[in-house]
Amino acid sequence: MPTQAATQSPQENAPSASPRPVIILKLATSLDGRIATATGESRWITGELARAKVHRLRADSDGVLIGSGTALSDDPELTARLKPAAKQPVRIVLDTDLRLPSTSKLARTTDQGQVLIYAARGVEPSAVERLTATGAKVVFVPRSMGGVELEAVFEDLKTNWAVNTLLVEGGGALAASLIKRGLVDRLEWFRAPILLGEEGRAAIGPLQLKHLADAPAFKKVASRQLGPDLWETYEKVSAECSPESSPPSEK
């Protein structure tokens, strides 16, 4: 199905033999890995330069994905707001029970680009009608423990919506779910020089690890300063390549 996402040019976005897109997890946190205070305040943890870079990451991606919790708490547009105007990614929400209101920014900006909402089969028809009336597309996938079946979502995105590179922006439960499944290929981590403490909301939810050897490993491949903030890029370490055997990364 031809969409705006089909016009990608970066080499990393080229289709591959994998049934899913390349998945990039974006994190914007305090130094101690928090994305919000205990009360949920998060605007803005990082500065203007970091936020501008996130808009560039969106424009360079075929799709941008969030969970329903982030959609409800932050009410984001997920558009790439750049000058000159940038290509807009497909905007995607994992919303198992279709809780997203028709008054949300995503639902009200379908004229600015495709909005896909992945829900579990069997939701109320009235909820489907409410959201499709805004121009959003509701896609049904199997239900799994705690939400929708992620593998089915990603396969549909790549096969039917030309999403070869997917930027995931939150929240903590979704990030943990992707990491536990080994689905995160790259991390784009923006750190602000502040501390929010244990009571702050964690960027990554529980991974339920029992041994250090089971910890998902990533290799730092780049580090840049964006005003007061630090932007680091990490790539997943493959099973056959341990962190100890990897060459040192440039900084």
pLDDT tens-place string over residues 73-89: 888 899 998 876 778 99
- The closest of 36, 25, 33 to 188, measured between CA atoms, is 25
The answer to whether residue 2 sits within a structural domain is: no
% pLDDT > 90, the chain: 68
More confident residue, 151 or 39: 151
Q: What is the CATH number of the domain that holds 157?
A: 3.40.430.10
Based on DSSP, count helices (H) and strands (E) in the chain, helices before strands. 6, 13
Which residues are 116's β-sheet partners?
92, 137
The answer to whether residue 144 sits within a structural domain is: yes
Q: Is the pLDDT of residue 100 over 80?
A: yes
pLDDT of residue 246: 44
The answer to whether residue 5 sits within a structural domain is: no
Average pLDDT over residues 111-136: 93
pLDDT of residue 174: 92
pLDDT of residue 84: 67
The answer to whether residue 4 sits within a structural domain is: no
Q: Is the pLDDT of residue 1 over 70?
A: no
H/E stretch holding 67 = strand 63-67
The answer to whether residue 74 sits within a structural domain is: yes
More confident residue, 234 or 249: 234
Which residues are 137's β-sheet partners?
116
17 pLDDT band, cuts 50/70/90, is confident
pLDDT of residue 16: 59
Q: Give the range of the structural domain holding residue 175, as residue numbers without chain letter.
A: 17-245
Task: Please state, as a whole number, how many other Cβ atoms lie within 10 Å of the Cβ of residue 155.
Answer: 16
- pTM (two decimals): 0.84
The answer to whether residue 8 sits within a structural domain is: no
Backbone angles phi, psi at 37, to 5 degrees: -75, 175
Half-sphere exposure of 137 (CA within 13 A, CB side): 14
pLDDT of residue 33: 92
Average pLDDT over residues 174-192: 95
pLDDT of residue 6: 28
- The closest of 24, 17, 21, 18 to 5, measured between CA atoms, is 21
Cβ pair 174, 23 in contact under 8 A: no
- Tell me the per-residue pLDDT of 22-71, one tens digit each, with 9 for 90 and over: 999 999 999 999 998 888 888 888 999 999 999 999 999 999 999 998 89
Counted domains in the chain? 1
pLDDT of residue 40: 82
Between CA 55 and CA 211 the distance in angstroms is 37
Highest-pLDDT range among 1-10, 130-139, 240-249:
130-139
Residues 6+ apart with CB under 8 A from 229: 46, 47, 49, 50, 190, 191, 192, 193
More confident residue, 225 or 7: 225
Q: Is the pLDDT of residue 8 over 70?
A: no
239 pLDDT band, cuts 50/70/90, is low
The answer to whether residue 61 sits within a structural domain is: yes
The answer to whether residue 7 sits within a structural domain is: no
